[in-house]
Structure 1
């Protein structure tokens, strides 16, 4: 879940009261426990690639009506994902590509299930209980016979297992402040190059990050996931400088932009 202001229920003086909470996820999401096959063929994402080419433009905006029109083909791809979870013999890049594509595809499926909608945050109960009733916590699909949520994929698998902060440039939660949804599927052979391209695109897009030498207004991603960006001797400054054409340093004043949750629609 891309964290934002969410509502929780607090017991105060014997009554339930809605309370606003702001900040990153505080509790870990357990990894799914689906049975991993000892060996199987890696999944082919060609069908998803074709749909993305047809219904996502160069800016990453989605023609959700187009996806609706191609719903049979889209559901066929999702069914294939559902029946073929990554196996122990899959190379790491194939596993990562599978889970990134699964996250993005099931996010589109969630929007289609509630379309038309103006924001992913409009889905579900008006009072959101963290880890329980948010759109990202809803277990609305199955992989390998286990009911799963988008949070399971992002926090329980990708962040926990692969330790590559570049995933934050690839996971798209159907919102305008998200990174661009690529109009191609992620594949093992191109994965590292695709993730680096996403980083360059995200950091140099002034709608997502406003960077100058003296001051950098960064995406909330760099605030929400500070721990990820500081792993392995890295830092927010180092990750920004890896992709931004304008370089910053420890003297640069860093602040964070408000997150635009409007739907990433054409």
Structure 2
């Protein structure tokens, strides 16, 4: 059985849950990059969903993210992999972000309405490129995450691109070129690639309310 557990004095004590493949994996084993990446995306999403279900009914994950004192789901809900505990923050910042694959941000979810869609199947090494591409395309196809006004030459981007901008490039122009292949229109693609420095960028407000929609195929 998996060992998703609280490891701090103020952590939740969660019952053991059936996630044996995650908790029995060897995090230090040499593996192909695709296999490692798929594993940690699945781990992040599984722990998040398990944590939210444990707190149900919950209006938002932010209701369980104490800043100073008390339980913080991102820090105190731990997945034991081999002999090491990993929090959601550690999986995201110390593992996934260090892979250099920015599309991770469109695969992991925090159970909020402004999060990327949650697939109803696991990420796998042999399908990872396809899955990341499809989910990134779907992310930018949604008006909740991306809007482009060709008259004003203005991009409105998800706050994810503001919070983690450095993962997409060293400056705004580089970041727009990174996401350009996944934008939903030729106009948006051209603006992001031909003269990105002349485009204005603002960021959409993030909706932290709990996403109670069904997972996507």
Cα RMSD, aligned residues only: 2.4
Distance in 1 of aligned mates of 2:40 and 2:115: 17
CA distance 1:102–1:211, change in 2 (3 Å): same
CA distance 1:80–1:88, change in 2 (3 Å): closer
Could you list the runs of 4 or more consecutive aligned residues of structure 1 that deviate by over 3 angstroms after TM superposition?
none
Distance in 2 of aligned mates of 1:211 and 1:112: 36
List alignment gaps of at least 5 residues for structure 2: 1-14
List alignment gaps of at least 5 residues for structure 1: 1-71
**TM-score for both structures, normalised by structure 1:** 0.65
Alignment of 1:82-161 (within 5 A): 82-125=23-66, 128-129=67-68, 134-160=72-98
1:204 to 119, 141, 163: 141
Q: Residue 75 of structure 1 aligns with which residue?
A: 17
CA contact (8 A) 1:139 1:147 kept: no
Q: Residue 210 of structure 2 aligns with which residue?
A: 263
1:215 to 154, 162, 170: 154
Distance in 1 of aligned mates of 2:141 and 2:179: 10
2:178 to 239, 242, 250: 239
Distance in 1 of aligned mates of 2:49 and 2:140: 24
Distance in 2 of aligned mates of 1:139 and 1:75: 13
Tell me the SS of whatever aligns to 2:73: coil
Distance in 1 of aligned mates of 2:149 and 2:181: 15
The C-alpha deviation readout for 1:99-126, integer Å capped at 9, x for no partner, is 000000000011011011010011154x
Q: Residue 64 of structure 1 aligns with which residue?
A: none
Higher helix fraction (1 or 2): 2
Offset at residue 235 of structure 1 (A): 1.7
Q: Residue 177 of structure 1 aligns with which residue?
A: 114
Alignment of 1:179-194 (within 5 A): 179-194=116-131
Give the number of aligned pairs: 189
Greater relative contact order (Cα < 8 A, sep 6+): 1
Distance in 2 of aligned mates of 1:113 and 1:121: 14
